[in-house]
Chain A
Amino acid sequence: MKLLEYEAKHLLASANIQTPRSFIVDVNSLPSFLPVVLKSQVPIGGRGKAGGIAVVYTSEEYTLNTSRILSLDIKGFTPKQLLAEELINIERELYLSLLIDRRSASIILMAHTNGGVEIEENHVDDFLRCSLTDKNLLAAGEQLAEYFDLPEKSFVLQDLVKNLYACMIKNDATLLEINPLILTKDGEIVAGDCKMELDDAAAFRHPEWNFEDEAAEVNFVTLDNQGTVATIANGAGLAMATVDAVADAGLVPANFLDIGGGANESSVLAAFKRIMEYPNIDAIIINIFAGITRCDEIAKAIIAARTQINALPPLYIRLAGTNFEQAVELLTAEQITTLSTLESCIEAVKTKGKS
């Protein structure tokens, strides 16, 4: 789950990491203070270049820019929130992030002396990288002070590393990026912007999570709104493979859908309803290879979809695996036939197109 800046900064502040003084814009109220920098809250980078950030000094500028930014389209996202922050006298813009490295299965810290929007222009080998454990945080902070050439900030940076690490663990974060990390003219270290990603799998131990996750829903993805073949599959791998096979056959897949392990009748029925929103669908391929999922549950959903949804396009059904026999029994009773492979489904769709 990708957090918006204001949500991420709230978590930083709770972990005793310094963030700019701020408020969330309420269009019906006067600003709490001025001047401020107005920052659109969107789950994507490049908002500054899209006009989503403005420095305002007067109430007139504030009102004008607030309504302008709130109606922007920033790479497909309209900001729902606007964060207003105090202006900061910047001495230096640094870069600092903590993330999980798959290869070493550890949390690593990355830093660069040249932070800001052009961070990726820096050579990858110039970044400071060190693996963090709960035992080397102070040493890492000291190393960071040396790398930033801020020996007088050694204690501050030790605290920062310690607090960031604690924030990452406590919130089950998989990414915590502060860019820029600002050294102010007054010698303070402040988080200028923050990108934070939390592990959805850990939601069960975070009843407090209540974020605006606009980028969510990875299980159902529209590939082509005008596509003619809709797909329903189980497991991300099989769902991608189904889309690959449809496209490879010269057909146009409309969507990717992984109904997941342990899918049941109601979740599959909901998927059918979403597919019906596409205008050009003339075939639905259902490709289920059940391990943990049970084919009979899918069969029940298919039967329910046939009775509940009007003008359902032809279904090309391939079921295999757990409880396959029970599923075939249910479907046969409703005169619904199945095919034995994905390939035969695709062939059937193509043949139908020609006839």
Chain B
Amino acid sequence: MKSSLLTAQNVIIQGITGAHGAFHAQAMKNSGTGIVAGTSPNKAGQFIDTIPVYNSIKDIQKDFTVDISVIFVPPAFAKSAIIEAISAKIPLIVCITEGIPIHDMLQIKQHLEKGSSTLIGPNCPGVLIPGNNKLGIIPAHLSLPGSVGLVSRSGTLTYEAMDGLTRRNIGQRYIVGIGGDRIPGTSFIDTLALFESDPTVEQIVMIGEIGGTSEIEAADYIHQHVTKPVYAYVTGHHAPEGVQLGHAGAILGSADESAVAKTQYLAQCNVHTANSITQLVKMIPA
């Protein structure tokens, strides 16, 4: 993932006339993001705030070049919205929508492989570059420009960590919520690669969760490719164990997916680990 992808200017909102879309389109615009238009089927000609509404991305592209789309479409229509954006060759798609069926994500992944777009999310708070772009729902007033690269699977913990850093007067360069779904568009590794290669990032903060193996893969990547200091917290140390149905999951993923196991593995890979979010925020040098 390249920095220019996240800092590009012409942003559209898919699903701009819905309650969440309208509310957050204004919030994004107010924090200086270049929102040029929005889509909503059969609502062309309306305005949200001063943002013009179009029926489709194709229609917008007659009037504007589109660099980024932020999606607030309800889950039942999110698959078509994402595929519409991929077909329109929009370089960056940020999907906030929570609750997209996993079989829809399998199809979306196939479209992503064939297309040229990068997808962040779904089920994520999006991206915030303090003082630059707000692509999603991360509360910008709690951020502070600086040099931390923050990546998180959890939306609310993204805010928590950002707020904690700002209170300690530690600024952030990128805040990226990759989302908590089982099949995300962008992984920890894609984001860590950006943080490592971008000279404006000096420290990296990573927040994981129980379940899946993406933190383990990230740990291996950090061990081999990341030279900057990484601070991590995997939430769910005291979470109850889920009842696994059948044997297939255990056979496929023989790795331990608990927060404790992941934390230990990250520590072995030279990552500074914390056991709580407050501890994480405290351990980052100012």
Contacts and interface: CB of A to CB of B under 8 A. Distances in A.
B237 interface: yes
Nearest to A322: B139
Contact of B76 (A199, A205, A215, A322): A205
A103 B248 CA distance: 15
Interface in B80-115: 96, 98-103, 105-106, 109
Interface in A73-108: 95, 97, 99-103, 105-108
B251 to A, nearest CB: 6
B239 A204 contact: no
A291 B250 contact: no
A256 interface: yes
B139 A100 contact: no
Interface stretch (A15-23, A243-251, A269-277): A243-251
Contacts of B235: 237, 240-241, 244
A97 B125 contact: no
Contacts of A205: 76, 101
Nearest to A169: B103
Given A102-B183, A320-B163, A195 B239 contact: no
Contacts of B137: 291-292, 322
A202 to B, nearest CB: 4
A101 B252 contact: yes
Nearest to B100: A201
Contacts of A244: 235-238, 259, 275-277
Interface in B145-170: 152-157, 159-160, 163-164, 167
Contact of A100 (B106, B154, B246): B106
Among B153, B156, B180, B242: residue with most chain A CB under 10 A:
B156
B247 interface: yes
Contacts of A106: 106
B278 to A, nearest CB: 5
Contacts of B98: 261, 292
A175 to B, nearest CB: 6
Among A177, A223, A292: residue with most chain B CB under 10 A:
A292
B139 A291 contact: yes
Given A223-B238, A244-B238, A289-B163, A237 B152 contact: yes
B275 to A, nearest CB: 6
B212 interface: yes
B3 to A, nearest CB: 24
Nearest to A235: B156
Interface in B203-255: 207, 209-210, 212-214, 217, 233, 235-240, 242-243, 245-252, 254
Interface in A176-211: 177, 179, 195, 197, 199, 201-202, 204-205
Nearest to A2: B245
A103 B182 CA distance: 9
Contacts of A108: 252
A202 B249 CA distance: 20
A285 interface: no
A120 interface: yes
Nearest to A245: B276
Contacts of B259: 240, 244
A119 B156 CA distance: 39
Interface string B266-278: 0000000001111
A237 B157 contact: yes
| A interface, over-half SS | mixed
Interface residues of A, number: 64
A16 B98 CA distance: 34
B44 interface: no
A342 interface: yes
B164 A341 contact: yes
B155 A291 contact: yes
A127 B251 contact: yes
A237 B99 contact: no
A174 B102 contact: yes
Contacts of B135: none
B160 to A, nearest CB: 6
A343 B282 CA distance: 11
Given A105-B183, A172-B103, A291-B139, A238 B156 contact: yes
Contacts of B237: 240, 244, 247-248
B138 interface: yes
Among B99, B182, B251: residue with most chain A CB under 10 A:
B251
Nearest to A105: B109
Contacts of B233: 241
A205 B74 CA distance: 13
B131 interface: no
A202 B101 contact: yes
Interface string A259-291: 001100000000000000000000000000111
A238 B153 CA distance: 11
Contacts of A2: 243, 245
A106 B214 CA distance: 16
26 contacts: A100-B102, A102-B182, A103-B217, A107-B106, A110-B251, A119-B247, A174-B102, A177-B247, A201-B101, A201-B102, A204-B76, A215-B243, A223-B240, A235-B154, A235-B156, A237-B156, A238-B160, A240-B210, A241-B157, A244-B238, A244-B276, A289-B156, A292-B20, A292-B137, A341-B163, A343-B278
Interface of B: 20, 75-76, 96, 98-103, 105-106, 109, 125, 137-139, 142, 152-157, 159-160, 163-164, 167, 180, 182-183, 207, 209-210, 212-214, 217, 233, 235-240, 242-243, 245-252, 254, 259, 275-279
Smallest CB-CB A-B distances: 6 pairs: A237-B154, A235-B156, A238-B156, A195-B246, A202-B101, A177-B246
